[in-house]
Amino acid sequence: MKLTFYGGVGEVTGSNYMLESGGEKILIDCGLHQGSHYAERLNFEPFPYDPKTISAVLVTHAHIDHTGRLPKLFKDGFRGNIFSTPATKDFSELLLLDSENILFKEAEREKKPPLYTVDDVNRAMGIWRKIDYHVPLVVGNFKAEFFDAGHILGSAFIKIEADGKSIIFSGDLGNSPAPIIQPLEKIEDPDYCLIESTYGDRIHEDVDKRQEMLEDAIENTVKAGGTLLIPTFAMERTQEILYHMYQLFKEGRIPRVPVFMDSPLAIKLTAVYKKYESYFNKETYAIAKTGDDILNFPGLRLALTTEQSKDINGVPPPKIIIAGSGMSNGGRILHHELRYFPDPKSAVLFVGYQAMGSLGREILDGASEVKILGEKVPVRCKKIVIPGYSAHADQPHLIDWLRPMRKNLKKVFVVQGESESGGVLAQKITDELAILAEVPKPEEKVEL
């Protein structure tokens, strides 16, 4: 079995790996490069392999940095099947259509053809098959099984076997226990493993305090009479924040102020959560079974249309606005940031990873002035970070996940991290678990 690293090496995004056995080729993930303009230009490069020769793509989860080039793969000739868990397929459809919309607008601005069209998304969905956790899947020479990765609803790590060897593709691993979903599963027996390293060099502080920290952020901003901006990823993070607010309101721990969910995508994704309540963890499933809507509460207002979004401006603070994108790279949050960044009474709350090159990262790194939608904006609002909401495992969690595999593992490939965190994690794996670990190079080929 041969493994090639085509994306997700030396970077968090752009996940794309190939396995070959007996002349057959499959891909694991086919994600968008995200973050900087340089990274985004890479998406337009031709695939370094012929998409017509690929027989299947196995998708770990619905995040666009794992799925975002699938429509382009179809456009460029891929006619095999795509496989994922049922929830991942449903979420991917919404996320890919949203991404198409953003890419289309960008292409128009830059006067170049878009990466792909709505038709390409629909055609990719037509060859997409659902396979549930733990149901064996056979694709030619390859046998595969999906396990719960505890990262977002429907997320999986995938075990693939061929030629008497087995390998795990971690996808993204969750920061378990998470508020809504099941914890990350553990297994023992693979020969090789690719492990993500987004937070490979860090420890998430105060995971058990994330809800209290959210409570404080809301209370303090309300007291100051400001607006609390929460730039958030429409998938999972938004629902976790909603669920925690549902509990805080229910227990009377925060004052009743208007909460706006200003994201058509988040509104649609949240609706899909209802369909997959059986994937929830025990505690959350039990509440959902009583008929309570864990993702709704009095005071929550949904802004689906542009008009509804603009109407938020007319509502006087204190108020809370949840909007995408999660790294402030685009989306409706920018309009609110433009308005409230100069206001010292207001606050911006970071609940997720901010990639190098993103506006979110610029703010976190202490910029006193930023450019938003062509305008220079002073940053005078408060900045609050709640690292505990990360959907990614931190270094101790990553090591714990690998530990049961140490008897059989021949080598670990550290992927999906910036070079610093990947290197640190590889060293830690070697030191603590005595397993060979390396950070592969782009397009590196390995015989397993």
The footprint of Zn ion (CB under 5 A) covers 63, 172
Contacts 24+ apart (CB under 8 A), 420-424: 420/201, 421/197, 421/198, 421/199, 421/200, 421/201, 421/202, 422/10, 422/197, 422/200, 424/200, 424/201, 424/395
Which lies closer to Zn ion via its Cβ, residue 80 or residue 200?
Answer: 200
Contact by Cβ (8 Å): 437, 411: yes
Least separation in angstroms between CB 61 and Zn ion: 6
Identity of the residue, 114 or 387, whose beta carbon is nearer to Zn ion in the bound complex: 387
From the list 442, 447, 446, 309, the residue with the least C-alpha distance to 16 is: 442
Which residue, among 107, 97, 236, 83, has the nearest Cα to 158 in the 3D structure? 83
Q: Shortest Cβ distance from residue 219 to Zn ion (Å)?
A: 31
Q: What's the min distance (Å) between Cβ of 55 and Zn ion? A: 25
* Nearest to Zn ion of 172, 215 (CB atom): 172
Residue pointed to by tokens 């606005």: 321
Closest approach, Cβ 29 to Zn ion, in A, equals 10
Other beta carbons within 10 Å of 335? 19
Residue 128 beta carbon to Zn ion: minimum distance, rounded to whole angstroms: 18
Closest CB to Zn ion among 60 and 263? Answer: 60
**Closer by beta carbon to Zn ion, 15 or else 346:** 15
Give bridge partners of residue 19 from the DSSP assignment.
3, 26
- Closest CB to Zn ion among residues 87, 288: 87
438 token code pair: 């390396």
Rounded to a whole number of angstroms, the minimum distance from the CB of residue 63 to Zn ion is 4
Which of 21, 328 has the CB closer to Zn ion? 328
Q: Find residue 5's DSSP bridge partners.
A: 17
To Zn ion, the closest distance from the beta carbon of 425 in angstroms equals 17
- Measured CA distances, 114 to 49, 103, 134 (Å): 21, 6, 37
Q: For the chain, give the number of residues.
A: 448
Nearest to 5 by CA among 369, 422, 330: 422
